[in-house]
Amino acid sequence: MTGNREVLLVVHPDRDTTRDAARAVAARFEKAGIRLRVVDEEVRDLIEPDGGIGAPCVVVAPEDNPAAGTELVFVLGGDGTLLRAAELARPAGVPVLGVNLGRVGFLTEADSEALDDAVHRAVDGHYQVEERMTIDVMVTVDGFEVARTWALNEASVEKSSRERILDALIEVDGRPVSSFGCDGVLCATPTGSTAYAFSAGGPIIWPDVEALLVVPSNAHAMFSRPLVVSRNSVITVGIDPDGSSAVLTCDGLRHIELPKGARVQVVCGRVPVRLVRLWNGPFTDRLVHKFSLPVKSWRERHARE
């Protein structure tokens, strides 16, 4: 791969290990003749600590579509950092490669000990790209659209006051399914099924299953089980006009205040997020590795004692 190559570097700058990794990655890209972009002057100062000694880079404001024209968004951090990077990469259709320097890092492709190999593959272009389903979210009040947003993991409708209960009505394809008081309702993608939705008691959905997930959070109802519906379905979460207000949060990044009576409509997203894959292993192995799941039977474990 030749020509004027550029990579957008997204970094969680608040850890010593991340700082060291960012400088090492920047130096490797510089050596390969790849120019770096960043969206934070703090990150530029991080990788150019001596007034420009190190990999040269340019700062591009987030609102200026910073990933446009780059070949890759390279992420150093955990899942939160990768979600922030996905927000930058999605409008440009640029793939995202994450190296986990946080905790679980389920969305990231490589752990910290594989950083050198991840950079090497990025430089050589030796990777695959898979598309992950997103969701498009629309908020209406009294029949009028007031906001639009999107999510890679989930859209969370939650009570805005800790002391109150959120009264919500769930509809699928224009038909009511259930209403209840709750702390919130999560509408998630298969990618998001291992995130907030999983913590709220939802099932894990393999990424190649084209479906949407609805998970009530701490619902006060007999029927409040998670729902798995078609990718073609329309999910609506209605807020009781006589109840309390709520807040919509998408991927923990985008927040919209919801007045009483608001309706949140969730559909399969028109624009996917493209994630880099370095190794052709099944999702099952990734699940076991990331969550450190026991895969030996009780008898096998105790036979060694």
Q: Is 79 a catalytic residue?
A: yes
Closest to 161 (Cα-Cα) out of 261, 50, 43, 247: 247
Per annotation, catalytic residue among 14, 79, 117, 183:
79
Spell out the alpha helix ranges (H) of 157-277. Answer: 196-199
Closest to 179 (Cα-Cα) out of 188, 170, 187: 170
Q: Can you tell me whether residue 235 is helix, strand or coil?
A: strand
Q: Is the dihedral of CA 85, 90, 92, 97 positive or negative?
A: positive
In whole angstroms, give the CA distance from residue 214 to residue 224: 10
In whole angstroms, give the CA distance from residue 257 to residue 2: 47
- DSSP, residue by residue, 51-79: TS-S--EEE--GGG-TTTT-SEEEEEE-H
In whole angstroms, give the CA distance from residue 126 to residue 79: 23
Closest to 182 (Cα-Cα) out of 142, 143, 135, 238: 238
Active site residues: 79
